[in-house]
Amino acid sequence: MTIIDGNLISNQIKEEIKESVTKLVNEGKKRPHLAAVLVGMDGASQTYVGHKVKSCEQVGFESTLVTLDENTTEETLISKIHELNNNDAIDGFIVQLPLPKHIDADKILLEIKASKDVDGFHPINFGRMCLNLPAYIPATPMGIMTLIERYKIETKGKHCVVIGRSNIVGRPMSILMSRAGIDSTVTLCHSRTSNLQEECRRADIIIAALGKPNFVTKDMVKPGAVIIDVGITRVEDSSKKSGYRIAGDVDFENVKDLCSYITPVPGGVGPMTVVSLMLNTLQASQNLIYTK
């Protein structure tokens, strides 16, 4: 059994990005510049945005953090997005989700210019991804694909079960795993799937992205399967200073010895998400997907 080390791979990629930035700067080009918009004071969102800003520093990017009050109106947020769309100094930007309840996230994401949508959530990028055209790929699925590639995990002809069909993880994951060249046969499961345990037992690769701690148990895993755990749930834990611990969707301790590869939580998929956002921003700065 191999524990997939997301910290190791993400640090390697950060070094590679840093080298690319140094090269760009030496050629007299500008540093890639990522902006993040944070609305409100959600603790987890603040942590995620903080990681993104810190990663920008580590790889030599410029970063701008736009913080807006919890009560910001949809109109104010949209006008901020238009400002970022039109600011040539900024190569790409993200709007941190979730947004406060009074703001329609779908409406907001549509306002982001596709060429700056480094989260890959805009329908233009999503559609281009489905059609195998150059596109920004959503960061978490992109990070998982990178782990699979760097660990040389066989995907051709394998049966992959994805649990969860969200637009940011499960659904794009199912599309990427079934692409020509990756060639897995994909089953996309969700809360209405009737025979989920059976589906999992037939899987060569399980990608769990539902947000339910310890959901994937030993009896659901075929010996030798590859397990990718995307889940991040804060679980109360009085032994921790913070009062909580982070739990994945897989019962890691009881599943690990059964499988060929497994990602831990934390330290698996999580660090890959941030580094994939950096890769998308690097591409944006070089106009590799869209010409400005």
**Which residues are part of the catalytic machinery?**
52, 96, 119
Minimum CB distance to ligand NAP smaller for 92 or for 170: 170
Minimum CB distance to ligand NAP smaller for 90 or for 210: 210
Structure tokens given for 38: 């944070």
Structure tokens given for 173: 């994951």
Pair 185, 159: CB distance under 8 Å = yes
Minimum CB distance to ligand NAP smaller for 116 or for 165: 165
Query: C-beta of 25: minimal distance to ligand NAP in Å?
Result: 29
Minimum CB distance to ligand NAP smaller for 44 or for 288: 44
Kindly give, in sequence order, each residue whose CB lies less than 8 Å from that of residue 275, ignoring residues fewer than 6 positions away.
Answer: 10, 13, 14, 17, 55, 143, 146
Contacting positions for ligand NAP (CB under 6 A): 140, 163-166, 168-170, 189-193, 196, 209-212, 230-233, 269-270, 273
Query: C-beta of 287: minimal distance to ligand NAP in Å?
Result: 27
Q: What is the rounded (10 degree) CA torsion for 178, 179, 184, 190? A: -20
Assign 3-state DSSP to the chain and report helix, strand, coil percentages, each to 5: 40, 15, 40
Query: C-beta of 88: minimal distance to ligand NAP in Å?
Result: 30
Query: Residue 188: phi, psi to the nearest 5?
Result: -100, 115
Supply the DSSP symbol for 216.
B
C-alpha span between 291 and 22 (Å, rounded)? 22
Query: C-beta of 158: minimal distance to ligand NAP in Å?
Result: 21
Query: C-beta of 203: minimal distance to ligand NAP in Å?
Result: 14
Minimum CB distance to ligand NAP smaller for 32 or for 264: 264
Residue with the two structure tokens 């329908």: 123
CA 31 to chain centre: 23
Q: What is the rounded (10 degree) CA torsion for 67, 73, 77, 78? A: 180
Kindly give, in sequence order, each residue whose CB lies less than 8 Å from that of residue 259, ignoring residues fewer than 6 positions away.
Answer: 1, 221, 223, 224, 225, 226, 227
